[in-house]
Amino acid sequence: MSLLEQRYRSVLRLLPASYRAEREEEMVDAFMELSGEVPDEANPRPRWGEIASVLSLSMRVRLGGAGASPRFVAWGEAVRLVALLGLGHQAVGSVIELLNWGHALAFGTHVAWTGPPGSLERLVSIAVSAAALCSAVAFVAIMRGHVRTAKITALIGVAPPLAYTVIPMLLVERPLSELATLVLTVAPVIALLMGFHSDVTPRRRSWTVTLSPAAVGLAVLGGTWLVVAVRPYDQDWPYLWLGFGTTILVWAAGAVVVLARRSSPSWALAMTATGLLLLAVRLPLLDNLPEGASWTMVCAQCAVLWVLSTALAWVGARGLPRASVAAAAETGPILREG
């Protein structure tokens, strides 16, 4: 075996074993024919373009592209669900922001923008808030099957928080919670970009499901006003169930439904991933709270996230189709002699 062939076979290790079992020999044959005879003394290596094409193929196969084994199809579905759940969460945030703007306009109250009126800082603050609304547009677009629009608007929506968090992080030391919040914001967008690849035919979901974040946003805002109205002045812990706390509550309810209904492994895995992301954001809060009712409440929230995420991971892993090469060869690439 020549050095170039050895190196190309190493590159092909980027591909899943089941795919290699089916394709490796003919890919090597095609590559070696394309490259021609190259002596080992020339220290030949596969070109970067070839490596990139194998990497791209690997990503697509691992995320349920054409020719992928059922196990990878399930993983791909899980990644797409992470995108939908994450963007749905961001869309709820956008709706709440819109409602707050509406309330401020209607009643002449103050909107929490930074900088004095007319200043550049105020302009940037408004632009950042407006960009955040793009997440809602991205959610609607992907739910209605418009992948390209969803990807562009999601990127616009995530750019300001990315810049706002990463730039200060590079300049001064920032708390770990900011990094976790950034990951929670960026992960669904990455899942969207990777999961909805060209092999995926996006589903067009009903308007009822598509507009559900608006209903959730209204409910959350109503609940928030209610808690603020009835809150006993000597207790802080009810606030821990507002905003992010409500997200944990809704996620936990969803997790119980997924576990109880024995949903597909993709749902269980997607809920695991989102649960762990929420846990990563909530956990650093324990460092900032004095011991007491609030600290215990955050502990309970983290425990709920951890226990349910672990249970979901177990159910998801057990429900995944077999990973063996033989299983993939039986049901994998639809290339059979015609």
Which residues make up the interface to another protein (CB under 8 A)? 23, 25-34, 49-50, 52-58, 60-61, 65-67, 198-199, 333-338
Smallest distance, Å, CB 176 to another protein?
38
Residue nearer to another protein on the CB measure, 198 or 208: 198
Q: Which is nearer to another protein, 35 or 125 (CB)?
A: 35
DSSP structural state of residue 30: H
Q: How far is the CB of 15 from another protein (least distance, A)?
A: 9
Q: 142: which residues sit within 8 A by CB, 6+ positions away? A: 83, 84, 87, 150, 154, 192, 196, 202
Closer Cβ to another protein, 60 or 71, answer by number: 60
Give the integer Cα–Cα distance in Å for 219 and 225.
10
Query: Are 66 and 199 contacting, i.e. CB atoms less than 8 angstroms apart?
Result: yes
Q: How far is the CB of 37 from another protein (least distance, A)?
A: 11
Smaller CB separation from another protein, 69 or 266 = 69
Question: Over the Cα atoms of the chain, what is R_g?
Answer: 24
Least Cβ distance, residue 209 to another protein (angstroms):
25
Shortest Å distance, C-beta 325 to another protein? 16
Is residue 66 within 8 Å of residue 23, measured between CB atoms? no
Looking at beta carbons only, is 112 or 334 nearer to another protein?
334
Q: How far is the CB of 189 from another protein (least distance, A)?
A: 23
DSSP element (H, E) containing 76:
helix 70-107
SS (H, E, C) 78-122: HHHHHHHHHHHHHHHHHHHHHHHHHHHHHHCCCCCCCCCCCCHHH
**Segment holding 191, helix H or strand E:** helix 176-195
One-letter amino acid identity for 63? L
26 vs 287 by CB, closer to another protein: 26
Residues 56 and 222: their CA atoms lie apart, in Å, by: 46
Q: How far is the CB of 66 from another protein (least distance, A)?
A: 4
* Of 31 and 267, CB closest to another protein: 31
- Give burial (CB, 10 Å; 0-12/13-18/19+) of 265: buried
